[in-house]
Amino acid sequence: MGFGDLKSPTGLQVLNDYLADKSYIEGYVPSQADVAVFEAVSGPPPADLGHALHWYNHIKSYKKEKAGLPGVKKALSKYGPADMEDTTGSGATDSKDDDDIDLFGSDDEKESEKAKRLREERLAQYESKKAKKPALVTKSSILLDVKPWEDETEMAKLEECVRSIQADGLVWGSSKLVPVGYGIKKLQIQYMLEEQITAFEDYVQSMDVAAFNKI
Mean pLDDT throughout 175-179?
90
Residue-level pLDDT at 131: 64
Mean pLDDT throughout 77-96?
58
Residue 85 Rama label (left phi>0; alpha psi -120 to 50; beta): beta
Stronger pLDDT, 176 or 140, i.e. the higher one: 176
Residue-level pLDDT at 82: 75
Of 98, 141, 106, nearest in space to 4 by CA: 106
Residue-level pLDDT at 201: 61
Which tens digits make up the pLDDT trace of 101-141?
Answer: 455 555 545 557 777 777 777 777 777 766 665 555 556 67
Work out the pLDDT band at 36, boundaries 50, 70, 90: very high
pTM across the whole model? 0.42
Please report the domains of the chain, with CATH numbers, ordered by start residue: 9-78 (no CATH), 140-214 (3.30.70.60)
Residue-level pLDDT at 151: 87
Of 49, 24, 28, nearest in space to 37 by CA: 24
Residues above pLDDT 90, as percent of the chain:
15
Is 153 a residue whose pLDDT tops 70? yes
Of 178, 198, 180, nearest in space to 188 by CA: 178
Q: Are 6 and 44 in contact (CB under 8 A)?
A: no
Is 95 a residue whose pLDDT tops 70? no
CA–CA dist 154, 185 (Å, integer): 10
* Average pLDDT in the chain: 76
Of 48, 128, 117, 24, nearest in space to 84 by CA: 128
Q: Are 194 and 171 in contact (CB under 8 A)?
A: yes
Query: Which amino acid, one-letter code, is at 87?
Result: T
Stronger pLDDT, 79 or 105, i.e. the higher one: 79
